Amino acid sequence: MKPEPDASHEMDMVTLFSSSNYDSEMEAMQIHGILEANGIQSIVVGTSTIPSLEFEVQVSRENLDEAQRILAEAQAAGPAAAAEAEAAGEEGA
């Protein structure tokens, strides 16, 4: 028996981050990494062959609030917290 498709919109992808700045690809990849490290699946939309175009990070609608919270915490903690977390991860590896 063929499963019925999910008609809910909870898995629709929505944009969490969007930028066309010169460093948007790097920022999108950093956000993607933070989300993935916190168990939230995300995708990066953009092309590095034309870096002047926009880059986006998208998450499922059901994870948007949690992703926004995680991103806000990471931004508030700043670069020092990122370096500390990376060092802690390297020690555990």
Written as six digits, the tokens of 66 are 């949690």
C-beta separation of 11 from 58 below 8 A: no
**Could you read off the pLDDT of 3-50 as tens digits, one per residue?**
776 666 667 899 999 999 988 999 999 999 999 999 999 999 998 777
- Which domains are present in the chain? 13-78 (3.30.70.1940)
What is the length of the chain? Answer: 93
C-beta separation of 34 from 71 below 8 A: yes
**Could you read off the pLDDT of 52-91 as tens digits, one per residue?**
789 999 999 999 999 999 999 998 988 777 677 667 666 7
